[in-house]
């Protein structure tokens, strides 16, 4: 038995450029150059980035579909005393990218984990959107299916914090339309496209205007959407209807849900009920709402 077991290594979570290669920090360059290995999503892409800085280090692939198998292997390398740099194709690992599973496993194994901060599309877009930054919520990518996306957005309708989303360019038009329906067409938003890259573009406006624009002109590239939070009056006015929707999803009738919300808000049950009916638009072909 070895009386002097090797000292456990360190896992470095290293942010890499989201477009402009000059955004790789001097510290990140040093850490990558000193690492025993670099765990990355795409060895070809990371290899090109390393070569641009005259760095040659062993790499191993670590991406969404192999992270469960790779994590124990990397932890063993860390236990043996190696310094390993975790990177993704762009931006900060674990932020809508692989990495959380490895960070958690390393911490559970008593391994030191260090952040080497740098680019993040969400923070970069938020900083130039011109929308309140004192409080915000990062929502990442939304469900791609219409029903799931609509339900998710409706749950955020009364959220007072600024909201930050990622989206694929090909889905931007339909996503903005869904946001306009859930949050209201007058809610302010900013679309930040290809940030730090050659064709970077920021388009600001209301959700209604942006939805109409991108319904006609599909977007290209990587997209970050920054949406203003609900103002206090909007939050107060939409919250009852979000609560009603939640109650009805559990099998409670509209009348019963209205009575519950009336007790919670101090408003009359009839007023809540009538407002809920109006919010649902026209009646069906039989002249009835299908709420009850």
Domain boundaries, the chain: 10-119, 122-230, 233-279
Q: Do domains 10-119 and 122-230 have the same CATH topology?
A: no
State the average pLDDT over residues 101-109: 97
pLDDT at 14: 98
* Residue range 44-62: mean pLDDT, rounded: 96
Q: Is the pLDDT of residue 291 over 50?
A: no
Arithmetic mean of pLDDT, 145-160: 93
Give the number of other Cβ atoms within 10 Å of residue 288's Cβ.
Answer: 9
pLDDT digits (tens, 9 = 90+) for 224-260: 999 999 975 555 556 667 778 878 888 888 888 888 8
Residue 290's pLDDT is what? 47
Which of 281, 260, 283 is CA-nearest to residue 272? Answer: 260
Lookup: tokens for 146: 């219409």
**Element housing 164 (H / E):** strand 162-168
Q: Report percent pLDDT > 90 for the chain.
A: 71
Mean pLDDT confidence for 136-156: 94
Q: What are the strands, taking DSSP E only, across the chain?
A: 10-14, 37-40, 59-61, 83-86, 112-116, 136-141, 162-168, 188-193, 201-206, 222-227
* pLDDT at res. 244: 81
| Structural tokens at position 211 | 């939805």
**Per residue in 154-202, pLDDT tens?**
999 999 999 999 999 999 999 999 999 999 988 999 999 999 999 999 9
C-beta of residue 15 within 8 angstroms of C-beta of residue 97: no
> What superfamily in CATH does domain 122-230 come from?
Tetrapyrrole methylase, C-terminal domain (3.30.950.10)
10-119 placed in CATH 3.40.1010.10: yes
Q: What is the pLDDT of residue 5?
A: 45
Angle between helices 146-155 and 232-249 (to 10 degrees): 130
Nearest to 20 by CA among 221, 220, 193, 195: 195
pLDDT band at residue 261 using 50, 70 and 90 as cut-offs: confident
């Amino acid at each position: 038995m070895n009386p002097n077991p090797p000292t456990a290594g360190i896992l470095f979570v290293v942010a890499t450029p989201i477009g402009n290669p000059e955004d790789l920090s001097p510290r990140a360059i040093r850490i990558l150059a000193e690492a025993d290995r670099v765990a990355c999503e795409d060895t070809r892409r990371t290899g090109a980035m390393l070569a641009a800085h005259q760095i040659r280090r062993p790499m191993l692939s670590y991406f969404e579909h192999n992270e469960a198998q790779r994590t124990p292997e990397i932890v063993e390398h860390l236990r043996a005393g190696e310094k390993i740099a975790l990177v993704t194709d762009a931006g900060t690992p674990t932020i809508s990218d692989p990495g959380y599973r490895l960070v958690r496993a390393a911490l559970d194994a008593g391994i030191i984990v260090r952040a080497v901060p740098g680019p993040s599309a969400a923070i970069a877009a938020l900083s130039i959107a011109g929308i309140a930054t004192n409080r915000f919520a990062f929502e990442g990518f939304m469900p791609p299916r219409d029903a799931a996306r609509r339900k998710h957005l409706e749950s955020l309708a009364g959220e007072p914090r600024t909201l930050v989303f990622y989206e694929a360019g090909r889905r931007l038009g339909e996503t903005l339309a869904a946001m306009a329906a859930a949050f209201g067409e007058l809610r302010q938003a900013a679309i930040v496209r290809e940030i730090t890259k050659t064709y970077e573009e920021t388009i600001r406006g209301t959700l209604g205007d942006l939805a109409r624009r991108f319904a006609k002109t599909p977007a290209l590239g990587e997209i970050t959407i920054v949406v203003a939070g609900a103002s206090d009056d909007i939050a107060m006015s939409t919250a009852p209807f979000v609560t009603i929707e939640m109650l009805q999803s559990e099998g409670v009738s509209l009348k019963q849900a209205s009575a519950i919300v009336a007790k919670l808000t101090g408003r009359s049950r009839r007023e809540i009920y009538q407002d809920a009916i109006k919010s649902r638009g026209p009646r069906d072909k039989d002249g009835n709402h299908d709420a009850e």
